Amino acid sequence: MNNLMKKIFKGLIGLSLILSTAGLSVMASSHSEAPLIALDRFADNTDTYAFRSVEPGREGFVTLIANYIPLQEPSGGPQWFRWDDTVLYEIKIDNTGDGIEDVTYQFQFTTQTVNADTVLGQSTVNQDGVIGSLNDPDYNMPQTYTVRRIDRRSGRRGQLIAAGLRTPPANIGPRVTPNYETNLGQPAVYPLGNGGKVFAGTRDEYFYIDLGVFDALNFRSISSTGGIDSTKGYNVSTIALEVPIQELTSTRAVPSGPTAPDAVIGVWATASRRSTRVLSAGAAAHNGNWVQVSRLGNPLVNEVVIPLGLKDAFNAISPQIDGTIPRVVQAVTDPELAHLMQAVYGIAIPPAPRTDLVSIFGTGIPVNAVTGPNYTTFLSDGTAHEYLRLNVAIPITPIASINRLGLLGGDVAGFPNGRRVHDDVTDIALRAVAGGTPFTPATNVAPNNTLGDGVSANPEGPLLTRFPYLLPPNQGNQPRSSNQTLIEGKLHDWSKAPVVDENGNFVN
């Protein structure tokens, strides 16, 4: 443990002892106020991403992606999935290390109804029954949204940076939504006044994982192949935002280099609901203050690190107070998952306290001998705050050279430097928790450093090479349960990995 890490760790423990009473009261109030997010999927964060844009020519921008509403069955009509008009969706950036957001982007949606006198929902036959564009009258329940930017230093005043933007409908099928990506997907990418872009709509779930992890680590495989993607064929709702680097840093400038004091930003996403919902016959009124019900920074933290009794509370709190809750700190310094790995796989794990994990998830990685003088993700006021940390001065890795294992694969532009959509965070997290990294040399041996869930690619195909990167949504007329389905006139065998082109058309 170097001196800096010692100091941070002492700070964590000290704070947690002093403030343990405050931590407990947070738990109690959240138990009585926060709904269980599993019962509230329209406000459920699934993944958060933050990376310097890898689309050619866009290195001066950061792409922020917040996904919500998990495991969407593409054929779930006639309403399909849409954004919840009563939820406040937000992406937050801390650039000073205190765990408090300095820049916030807010997204709010409004659903219109063109023709209420139809048995159908999102689409109907108002004209010819084909939704050929975002403004087509057959798009019967279009949603529009606003984007607001709040800057803490300018007095928390919200600035409206876009309004009236239409979201695309669901990918209903080739009859109602033909040429989906050309007609509806790409037209829903809007330019912003700051030179950036924004998109909000349904996409293919790119977070591939074999959910055998929840069956006591009962993976079909514990390496890079041999698993089955549990999210195959499902969609997710994506907010993607691209903004200039200088809009996010503490100096409001492009940092001079990776070790400059303004080079690292912290990123997380949240969902909030009004505190009161009043039901009456056929209607619901939403009033009161916004209450945060979901939060997501680093992947898999709330799933596999935070203990069950704290999961709802963790969803409701700000990163500002993470380090003040002893049980949250302990969950990271001595994670249960590591002990489970030790028992199931019979492997040695690093001893607690896991300062390696505290730095990855809670404080950022300081400059060190392993990653060299030009690498750091450190951003902390001395206390742990859990969110993604992106060093915006580390150069991008061109798409063709990206390694899915990020830093562990020698690709310093990837996780845990922010999180790219390309990063296989399941394998990275399994190896990190098992101590299979250069930060814990004694356990950086097989199988600790070769662990994986057996899924290393998205079965629907590789990412787009342009914003919003995620693939078009899977079509509603292809039930995901059957092994052989007719897709755009061709019999498709789901047991083989399908490949789609950038228009969402299957090419095999």
- Which residues in this chain contact Ca ion in the complex, by CB under 5 A? 94, 96, 98, 100, 102, 204-205, 424, 426-427, 452-453, 455, 458, 460
Integer CA distances (angstroms), 121 to 77, 185, 399, in order: 8, 20, 39
Cα–Cα distance measured from residue 456 to residue 300, given in angstroms and rounded to the nearest whole number: 17
Cis geometry, peptide bond prior to residue 468 (ω within 30 degrees of 0): yes
Closer CB to Ca ion, residue 353 or residue 406? 406
Least spacing, CB of residue 196 vs Ca ion, in Å: 21
Q: Which is nearer to Ca ion, 94 or 411 (CB)?
A: 94
Nearer to Ca ion, 102 or 322 (CB): 102
Which residue is at the shortest CB distance from Ca ion? 96
Least distance (Å) from Ca ion to the CB of residue 126?
32
Which helix (H) or strand (E) covers residue 67, if one does? strand 61-72
Closer CB to Ca ion, 69 or 165, in the complex: 69
* 123 DSSP assignment: B
In the complex, least distance from residue 221 CB atom to Ca ion, rounded to whole angstroms: 10
CB 362 within 8 A of CB 379: no
Minimum distance, C-beta of residue 223 to Ca ion, in the bound complex (Å): 9
Q: DSSP label at 453?
A: -
Residues with Cβ within 8 Å of 4's Cβ and at least 6 positions away in sequence, in order, are 366
**Nearer of residues 136 and 204 to Ca ion, judged by Cβ:** 204
Q: What are phi and psi of 507, to 5 degrees?
A: -110, 0
| Residue placing its CB nearer to Ca ion in the complex, 153 or 175 | 153
Which tokens belong to 201?
Answer: 């709509």
Cβ atoms of residues 379 and 262 within 8 Å: no
CB of 351 to Ca ion, least distance (A): 27
Least separation in angstroms between CB 204 and Ca ion: 5
Q: Using only the alpha carbons of the chain, give its radius of gyration.
A: 22
Rounded Cα gap, residues 109 and 147, in angstroms = 9
Q: Which is nearer to Ca ion, 8 or 463 (CB)?
A: 463
Smallest distance from the beta carbon of 46 to Ca ion, in angstroms? 12
What are the beta bridge partners of residue 484?
493
